[in-house]
Every structure is written in C-alpha cells, then in structure tokens.
C-alpha cells in the first residue's frame, strides 16, 4: 500500500464535513482578549506533560474571557464552538449512545474553562485544515488549551473533575492526529494515557458515563496510531476490567469496547518494541476474539448487503455507528492475526500459501473495506481509515487497490 495512503488515512474524510457558512475574522493584533501566541514547547516527562520554564501559561487563562460563559459573546468563538457542537463533536460519539462528546461535553464546557478551551482548540484545528480559519487564530486556541491542561496536570489528581480532564486529553490528542504522521511529533499527548491512570480507577467495558467514554475514545485513537506506525500501544492494559468473558455484556457499546480492548492487546503482541513474537500469546488473543464473535448479539448484524457497480467492495449497512466500529476492529484483528501467525506456519507449496492469503487475509480485508466505505459517518471513516490503509497493502486486485488509492487521493486538506 502506498505511503501516502498511510499518512493521510482519515484526513480525507474531513473534506466532506460541513462547516459554518462564515467564521468571522478578527484583527488579532488589536484584539484585547487575544491569546499570547508566543510559541512554546511541551516535552514528555514520564508520559505526561511537564511545565517548562519558558511557558507563560498564566496568561492563557485570561484569553477565553471568563470561566462562566452564558452566552458566548465573541463572534469568532461562537462560530468555532458551533462547529464543535454541530459537527466535530459528533465524530467522537461513534461508540457513545448518549452522545457524550457532542452533548455532555459542550454543556459542561460552559462552566469549565479547561474543557471549553479544548473544544475550541479541536474545532479550530479542523476548521484550519478545511481552509476556513487562519493559522494564527488556530494556534491561539491550541496554545491556550495546552497551557491550561499543563496547569491542571500540575495539581493533585484528586482535585480533578475526571470527565473534564480526560475529555480535554481526548480532544487535544485527536486534534494532533489530524496532522500528517511526520508532523505529529507525539510529544504533547501521545503519552497521555498516564492521565487515565492518575485518576486512580480501573475502566469497565460496560460503563457509559463521560469519563469511561473518554477513556475508550482515547484507546481507539491509540489503536489507530498503532496501525499507522506499526507499533504497540502506550496503554496499561491492567487498568481495564474485562476478565469475565463468560458473562453477558450489558450494552452494545460494551461489546464494541471489548473488541477494542482485544485489538489493542493484539497490537502490543504483534508490535511490541522489545521481545520476540509469541505464538502462544497470539493464539490466546485469537481464542478471546473467537469467543467475542460467538457472543455478539444479533443486533450487530447488517440490515443490508449489496454490490454497487462503482465499488469493488460489498456495501454493508448497520443500524449504529458502534456496530460498524466493532466490525472494523474485528476484521482488522483477523488480518493482523493471520499475518503474524503465518510466521509460525510450516513450509508449504505456493498453492497452499495462496489459499491461506485469500482465506485468512484478503477476505477479512475486503469486509473491512466494505464496512468502512459503506458509511456516511465521518467519525467512522476516520476510525477505519488507518486500518484499511494497513490491511489494504495485501490486496492484489487492480480495482480494489485503485479504490483504496482514490481514498488517499481525495485528501484535500
């Protein structure tokens, strides 16, 4: 698969986003409440943001006018926040039946300066990539959010409102991931999984509150990074409570969280930075994935499957976005397992190798592509693009490869 398809995976989906007809422009040189846009650099310290002597974070809190904002009176901020509420927030609710990121987060943000700044930073970055906001304004909001988060992380975690801090981390990290891989330096929030550990709790696959939703959203973004860079996660899997595979899962979102967990474990097993690949570990994870598939409710089945003349992959329609996410991760896991378990196969003839390639790798790759290309949900496309780019490298059919190349070439950001 071409390198371009890897590095632009997901960003082309943004080109279809609708944006406000007009984001008012301002003269940043004269605006009284503008952010100090002096460049600053955050460096990793034990996986969490550290404060450097050159940071002037104290000035950033003043930029956003006040912590109590009923209503927003700045026309630029109102346009950016509206884009978050109407569009960009929804992209993160792909496994949130309650719509926490698009509904709960903006309501809390009205009285939480940290979360409010994160909403603006995330939305302004997307608008900048779409060519609807100038770079200076985008950097102002991004710098403000990072500085406020740094200040918050210097406080005792017991004083945090977990939903605000974790959601802020998610918003800023997904904003970073919209950069090209080479530009995403990963020195801001790639190691921010430690924030989830700092709150002193484990994470359930079945809870549907804001904090848990933010945790699983961050984990799925981490899996996306794994496929883009062929690396393991930076996540501590012992924080996840998901050991009772014989018990029924209480929610559909819980089923999707479980396969997310299993794929993250598989990425660690296949792309761990140290140690040899373990056949027994791969087979153990494969057995857990088989159990997950057997226990999957019938509600995850598609309501339509058909072929279109203009697409080489079968169109598959599901009732909910979390159904699509579950199948994306399941088919990606099938391919990742087959590729790495092939290293332990005994020598065989070309015919047997081709049969293995078709059965274990190409068929699930086509299913992954079908699920991803059949949706109109931008968040689902972003989630699946990196998986499609990696698994798609094994496709041999000219039409199939051409379809994937077109996906990459549609990147207009």
Longest dimension (CA), the chain: 73
Hey, which residues does 305 pair with through a beta bridge?
316
Q: How many CB atoms lie within 10 A of CB 315?
A: 16
Where would I find the H helices in 29-156? 75-86, 105-109, 113-129, 135-153
Which residues of the chain fall short of a pLDDT of 50?
Answer: 1-9, 25-68, 184-187, 246, 411-413
pLDDT at 74: 86
Segment (H or E) for 49: strand 48-49
Burial of residue 258 (number of CB atoms within 10 Å: 0-12, 13-18, 19+): buried
Reduce the DSSP state of residue 304 to 3 states and report it: strand
Answer whether 371's CB lies under 8 Å from 327's CB. yes
> Comparing C-alpha atoms, which of 378, 384, 385, 370 is closest to residue 302?
370
Confidence (pTM): 0.83
Q: What are phi and psi of 186, to 5 degrees?
A: 65, 20
**Mean of all residue pLDDT scores within the chain:** 79
Reduce the DSSP state of residue 65 to 3 states and report it: coil
Burial 163-199 (b: 16+ CB within 10 A, else e): bbbbbbbbbbbbbbbbbebeebebebbbbbbbbbbbb
Answer whether 143's CB lies under 8 Å from 125's CB. no
Burial of residue 361 (number of CB atoms within 10 Å: 0-12, 13-18, 19+): buried
**Is the bond leading into 264 cis (omega within 30 degrees of zero)?**
no
Helix 321-341 vs helix 252-271: crossing angle, to nearest 10: 30
Segment (H or E) for 241: strand 240-241
Answer whether 98's CB lies under 8 Å from 150's CB. no
Q: What are phi and psi of 382, to 5 degrees?
A: -65, -45
Tally of structural domains, the chain: 1
pLDDT at 199: 52
Q: Report CA torsion sign: 195, 199, 201, 203.
A: negative
Q: Which tokens is 61 given?
A: 């809190």
Measured in whole angstroms, the distance separating CA 225 from the mean position of its chain's CA atoms is 8
pLDDT at 65: 41
> Comparing C-alpha atoms, which of 320, 334, 348, 353 is closest to residue 292?
334
Q: What are phi and psi of 316, to 5 degrees?
A: -130, 125
Reduce the DSSP state of residue 203 to 3 states and report it: strand
Segment (H or E) for 122: helix 113-129
Measured in whole angstroms, the distance separating CA 61 from the mean position of its chain's CA atoms is 27
Q: Give the span between the Cα atoms of 96 and 337, in whole angstroms.
A: 28
Q: What are phi and psi of 38, to 5 degrees?
A: -60, 125
Domain of 141 in residue numbering reads as 3-409
């Amino acid at each position: 698969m071409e390198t371009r398809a890897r590095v632009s995976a997901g960003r082309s989906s943004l080109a279809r986003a609708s944006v406000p007809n007009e984001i008012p422009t301002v003269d940043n040189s004269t605006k009284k409440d503008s952010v100090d846009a002096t460049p600053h650099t955050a460096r990793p310290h034990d996986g969490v943001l550290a404060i450097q002597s050159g940071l002037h974070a104290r000035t950033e809190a003043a930029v956003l006018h006040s912590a109590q904002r009923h209503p927003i009176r700045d026309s630029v901020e109102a346009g950016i926040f509206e884009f978050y509420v109407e569009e960009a927030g929804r992209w993160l609710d792909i496994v949130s039946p309650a719509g926490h990121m698009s509904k709960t987060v903006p309501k809390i943000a009205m009285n939480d300066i940290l979360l409010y700044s994160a909403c603006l930073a995330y939305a302004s970055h997307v608008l900048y990539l779409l060519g609807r906001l100038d770079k200076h304004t985008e950097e102002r909001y991004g710098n403000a959010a990072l500085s406020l988060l740094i200040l918050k992380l210097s406080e005792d975690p017991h004083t945090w409102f977990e939903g605000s801090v974790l959601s802020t981390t998610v918003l800023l990290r997904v904003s970073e991931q919209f950069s090209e891989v080479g530009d995403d330096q990963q020195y801001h929030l790639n190691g921010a999984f430690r924030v989830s550990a700092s709150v002193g709790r484990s994470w359930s696959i079945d809870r549907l509150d804001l904090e848990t939703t933010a945790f699983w959203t961050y984990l799925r973004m981490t899996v996306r990074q794994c496929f883009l860079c062929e690396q393991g996660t930076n996540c501590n899997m012992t924080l996840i409570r998901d050991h009772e595979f014989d018990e029924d899962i209480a929610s559909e979102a819980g089923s999707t969280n479980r396969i997310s967990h299993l794929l993250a474990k598989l990425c660690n097993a296949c792309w761990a930075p140290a140690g040899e690949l373990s056949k027994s570990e791969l087979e153990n994870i494969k057995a857990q994935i088989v159990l997950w598939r057997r226990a999957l409710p019938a509600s995850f089945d598609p309501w339509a499957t058909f072929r279109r003349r203009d697409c080489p992959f079968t169109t598959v329609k599901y009732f909910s976005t979390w159904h699509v996410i579950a199948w994306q991760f399941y088919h990606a896991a099938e391919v990742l397992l087959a590729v790495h378990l092939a290293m332990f196969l005994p020598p065989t003839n070309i015919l047997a190798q081709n049969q293995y390639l078709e059965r274990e790798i190409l068929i699930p790759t086509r299913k992954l592509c079908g699920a991803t290309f059949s949706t109109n949900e931008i968040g689902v496309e972003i989630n699946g693009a990196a998986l499609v780019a990696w698994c798609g490298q094994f496709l041999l059919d000219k039409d199939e490869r051409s379809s994937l190349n077109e996906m990459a070439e549609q990147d207009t950001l």
